[in-house]
């Protein structure tokens, strides 16, 4: 046993004897020296944080007769406030002992297990067949005239290909945006499955019936994804493609019939906003939906939607596995809020930001043109402030950006209203951007929910409009408040160029994933690469803006706003 480790063991045993009363106060000086030794050992990395906090607590009891330490025991399970050296991984489900030399291996094994993609071969003993997906027609399988192998030319992806989820090695948990696994912020590889066409498939295309359904609210890009799914299915040779009208409701509502889809029918639907298939919230029981899937003899189901829709897709996937149905359920992440875990972005977000910053610029013109003008814009963001943050950055005209991840107060010395007084006095006008979920703690909760089970939020925009008017009236300062809510204008427009490309690739990869035999997965972009993720890993919680992230810091630099609490 090493000297440092032996000293640690002696100190811990000795202090525990003191704590239990087996040694008396005559040993005080020795105990004090030993505690100092323990602290020095901690600084050399030979002591764990839990032991150090126990020693600090023991020291305080010896010196003062009670514990004066503010440090709470670090359990890494129920820590409410960040404690020094108590770090846990994002989405980490396995408990790790960082003193165990093999903790990295255990983390990796747990990660690989959780991110291993479900397949129909898990319940069926199926043999693959050569793919029917090819970009070159009428070519010999051996290669083209230049000697390029067909598999390379067609861009087939190996099943063992992986992409790194994160590429930044943070040197400290205090680094901006740091997401560390252990107290030392060690580099841990987090690999996810690369998306794309495979050389072998598990379906006979001519026998496949594929269905597409769009759920939740409207979002720019829905038609682009529908179009690309149909195009890619036909490239594989699928003839039977249908659309399920009005979300999950189309599976059980009488009078709603499935819509036959073809390349000719969807050729130009990307030129308009909305959903060619229609949308709705909520739906029947999972068992009823799967009953309908079984009765319709659907082999592939492509589900376009956000967190709630993904949860529904996963439930359908699990029920199909339970019944041992050969059905691939593949989701495509659709939410303008950009609030799905692990993904760089979801389709519709870029378009939403572009449209939102136009509303902000209009508010700026209104505010600047009025005497003591105040432009107030409320943007979507049910649980996160990504749209508000990015739109504020892109417009460059916002003085105050309020998001649900960062608490604020309206009244008082450090409140938003006092800062607005300062802005009117110094600039003569100001622009405020607020996310719809921001400041909900300041409002009376309705307690109502929509058809998807989402809590109906109180209107922070109207509340702020009224508060601002009342405040400046009370202090005798004229203020001209212009309130803009562009919510439905943002949702209904067609996808911009950036989103159109993202939709195209996500739709294509969804089909590739289904033919590869995957089910219960979502097609997405992570760390600039297109990948597949298990749905179970992205629905655990909504993604939110990290107030310690560089992007939020950039937003604060742009607006120049102070802390409002």
Mean pLDDT of 464-493: 96
Hey, what are 214's tokens? Answer: 């769009």
pLDDT at 77 over 90: no
**143-147, 183-187, 304-308, 558-562, range with the lowest pLDDT:** 143-147
As annotated, the active-site residues are 337
Domain architecture of the chain: domains with CATH: 200-346+495-526 (3.40.50.450), 349-493+548-559 (3.40.50.460)
DSSP state of 518: B
Mean pLDDT of 171-198: 93
Instruction: Tell whether 263 is in a known binding site.
Output: no
Q: Give residue 335's pLDDT.
A: 92
Q: Give residue 62's pLDDT.
A: 32
Range list of β-strands (E), 66-120: none
Residue with the larger pLDDT of the pair 29 and 254? 254
pLDDT at 54 over 90: no
Q: Give residue 283's pLDDT.
A: 73
Mean pLDDT of 439-454: 75
pLDDT at 228 over 60: yes
Residue with the larger pLDDT of the pair 81 and 106? 106
For residue 330, list its beta bridge partners. 302, 521
Instruction: Tell whether 380 is in a known binding site.
Output: yes
**Class of residue 358 by CB neighbours under 10 A (exposed 0-12, middle 13-18, buried 19+):** middle
Instruction: Tell whether 198 is in a known binding site.
Output: no
Instruction: Tell whether 426 is in a known binding site.
Output: no
CA distance 154 to 139: 11
Q: Give residue 450's pLDDT.
A: 67
Instruction: Tell whether 488 is in a known binding site.
Output: yes
Instruction: Tell whether 25 is in a known binding site.
Output: no
CA contacts within 13 A on the Cβ side of 325: 25
pLDDT category, 465, cuts 50, 70, 90? very high
**Residue 209 host element (H or E):** strand 209-214
Instruction: Tell whether 309 is in a known binding site.
Output: yes
Mean pLDDT of 3-12: 48
Q: Give residue 90's pLDDT.
A: 38
Instruction: Tell whether 281 is in a known binding site.
Output: yes
- Give helix then strand counts, H and E, for the chain: 17, 15
Instruction: Tell whether 319 is in a known binding site.
Output: no
Mean pLDDT of the chain: 85
DSSP state of 223: H
pLDDT at 52 over 50: no
C-beta atoms surrounding 27 within 10 Å: 14
Instruction: Tell whether 381 is in a known binding site.
Output: yes
Q: Give residue 122's pLDDT.
A: 94
pLDDT at 24 over 80: no
CA distance 329 to 522: 9
**29-38, 103-112, 180-189, 240-249, range with the lowest pLDDT:** 29-38
pLDDT category, 140, cuts 50, 70, 90? low
Instruction: Tell whether 335 is in a known binding site.
Output: yes
Residue with the larger pLDDT of the pair 155 and 138? 155
Give percent of the chain above pLDDT 70. 80
**Class of residue 378 by CB neighbours under 10 A (exposed 0-12, middle 13-18, buried 19+):** buried
Give percent of the chain above pLDDT 90. 72
Q: Are 529 and 163 in contact (CB under 8 A)?
A: yes
Instruction: Tell whether 217 is in a known binding site.
Output: yes
Residue with the larger pLDDT of the pair 509 and 139? 509
pLDDT at 396 over 80: yes
What's the gap between Cα 379 and its chain centre? Answer: 18
**Ramachandran assignment for 238, one of left (phi > 0), alpha (psi -120 to 50 degrees), beta (any other):** beta
Q: What are phi and psi of 30, to 5 degrees?
A: -65, -40
Hey, what are 388's tokens? Answer: 């508000």
Q: pLDDT digit string (tens) for 351-365?
A: 999 999 999 999 999
């Amino acid at each position: 046993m090493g000297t440092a480790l032996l000293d640690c063991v002696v100190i811990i045993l000795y202090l525990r004897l003191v704590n239990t009363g087996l040694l008396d106060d005559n040993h005080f000086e020795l105990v004090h020296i030993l505690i100092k030794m323990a602290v020095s050992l901690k600084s050399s990395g030979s002591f764990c944080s839990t032991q150090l906090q126990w020693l600090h607590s023991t020291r305080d009891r010896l010196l003062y007769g009670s514990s004066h330490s503010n440090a709470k025991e670090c359990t890494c399970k129920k820590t409410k406030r960040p404690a020094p050296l108590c770090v846990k991984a994002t989405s980490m489900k396995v408990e790790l002992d960082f003193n165990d030399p093999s903790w990295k291996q255990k983390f990796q094994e747990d990660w690989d297990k959780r991110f291993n993609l479900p397949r129909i071969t898990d319940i069926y003993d199926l043999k693959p067949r050569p793919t029917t997906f090819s970009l070159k027609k009428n070519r010999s399988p051996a290669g083209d005239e230049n000697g390029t192998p067909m598999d390379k030319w067609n861009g087939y992806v190996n099943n063992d290909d992986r992409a790194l989820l994160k590429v930044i090695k943070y040197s400290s948990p205090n680094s901006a945006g740091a997401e560390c696994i252990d107290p030392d912020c060690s580099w841990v590889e987090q690999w996810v499955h690369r998306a794309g066409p495979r050389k072998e498939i598990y379906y006979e295309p001519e026998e496949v019936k594929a269905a597409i359904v769009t759920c939740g609210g409207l979002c720019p890009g829905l038609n682009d994804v529908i179009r690309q799914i149909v195009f890619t299915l036909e490239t594989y040779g699928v003839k039977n493609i249908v659309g399920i009208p009005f979300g999950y409701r189309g599976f059980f509502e009488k009078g709603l019939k499935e819509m036959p889809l073809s390349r000719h029918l969807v050729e130009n639907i990307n030129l308009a906003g909305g959903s060619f298939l229609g949308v709705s919230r909520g739906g029947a029981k999972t068992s009823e939906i799967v009953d309908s899937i079984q009765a319709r003899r659907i082999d592939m189901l492509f589900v376009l939607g956000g967190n709630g829709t993904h949860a529904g897709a996963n439930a359908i996937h699990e029920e199909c596995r339970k019944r041992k149905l050969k059905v691939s359920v593949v989701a495509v992440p659709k939410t303008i809020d950009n609030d799905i875990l692990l993904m760089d972005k979801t389709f519709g977000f870029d378009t939403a930001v572009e449209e939102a910053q136009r509303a902000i610029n209009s508010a700026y013109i209104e505010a600047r043109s009025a005497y003591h003008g105040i432009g107030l814009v409320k943007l979507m963001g049910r649980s996160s402030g990504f749209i508000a943050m990015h739109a504020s950055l892109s417009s460059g005209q916002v003085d105050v950006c309020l998001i649900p991840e960062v608490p604020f107060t309206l009244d008082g010395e450090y409140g938003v209203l006092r800062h607005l007084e300062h802005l009117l006095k110094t600039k003569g006008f100001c622009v405020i951007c607020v996310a719809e979920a921001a400041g909900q703690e300041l409002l009376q909760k309705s307690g109502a929910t929509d058809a998807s089970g989402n809590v109906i939020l109180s209107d922070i925009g109207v509340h702020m409009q009224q508060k601002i008017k009342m405040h400046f009236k009370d202090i005798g300062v004229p203020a001209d408040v212009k309130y803009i809510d562009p919510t439905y204008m943002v949702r209904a427009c067609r996808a911009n160029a950036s989103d159109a490309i993202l939709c195209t690739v996500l739709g294509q990869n969804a089909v590739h994933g289904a033919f590869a035999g995957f089910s219960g997965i979502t097609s997405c972009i992570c760390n600039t690469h297109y990948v597949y993720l298990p749905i179970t890993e992205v629905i655990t919680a909504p993604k939110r803006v990290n107030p310690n992230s560089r992007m939020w810091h950039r937003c604060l630099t742009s607006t120049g706003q102070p802390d409002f609490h």
